């Protein structure tokens, strides 16, 4: 059975500092991993995905994520946080089935 864990409900970071939003997963088979972001009153927006290949994937708005198979992790990172990055972030995984399994979400607050 697939599952995704986002161990932090809330992450606070100062503007200009690097940010990390953590995600670990449990799947049988090869994982396909995704990050989505939800801004206030908006739908989920796709940020990036890992399918295969290079473990470091780059996405929208300067975000990147590193796939670590041994640690079953897919942490989201950004070198320098912006206030506008404040939002709710969801990690998701899928394997053979087409539906996504999501984590509970992490609320990121970037403090000016």
| Chain positions contacting another protein, by CB under 8 A | 4, 32, 34, 36, 41-46, 49, 51, 90, 92, 94, 97-105
Q: How far is the CB of 85 from another protein (least distance, A)?
A: 19
Instruction: Please tell me the distance from the alpha carbon of residue 74 to that of residue 32, in angstroms, as a whole number.
Output: 10
Helix, strand, coil percent values for the chain (each to nearest 5) = 5, 50, 45
Tell me if residue 83 falls in helix, strand or coil.
helix
Q: Which is nearer to another protein, 31 or 81 (CB)?
A: 31
Instruction: Give the list of residues 6+ apart from residue 68 with CB closer than 8 angstroms, or none.
Output: 55, 74, 75
Residues counted in the chain: 112
Q: How far is the CB of 29 from another protein (least distance, A)?
A: 11
Q: Which is nearer to another protein, 22 or 94 (CB)?
A: 94
Q: How far is the CB of 104 from another protein (least distance, A)?
A: 5
Instruction: Give the list of residues 6+ apart from residue 86 with CB closer than 8 angstroms, or none.
Output: 108, 109, 110
Q: How far is the CB of 56 from another protein (least distance, A)?
A: 18
Q: Which is nearer to another protein, 53 or 112 (CB)?
A: 53
Q: Which is nearer to another protein, 34 or 74 (CB)?
A: 34
């Amino acid at each position: 059975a697939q599952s995704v864990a986002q161990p932090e409900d809330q992450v606070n970071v100062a503007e200009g500092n690097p940010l990390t939003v953590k995600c670990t997963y449990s799947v049988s088979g090869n994982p396909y991993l995704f990050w989505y972001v939800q801004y206030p009153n908006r739908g989920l927006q796709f940020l990036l995905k890992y399918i295969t290949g290079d473990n470091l994937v780059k996405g929208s708005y300067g975000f990147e994520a590193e796939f670590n198979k041994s640690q079953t992790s897919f942490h989201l990172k950004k070198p320098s946080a912006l206030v506008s990055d404040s939002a709710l972030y969801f990690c998701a995984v899928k394997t053979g089935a087409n539906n996504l399994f999501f984590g509970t979400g992490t609320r990121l607050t970037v403090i000016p």
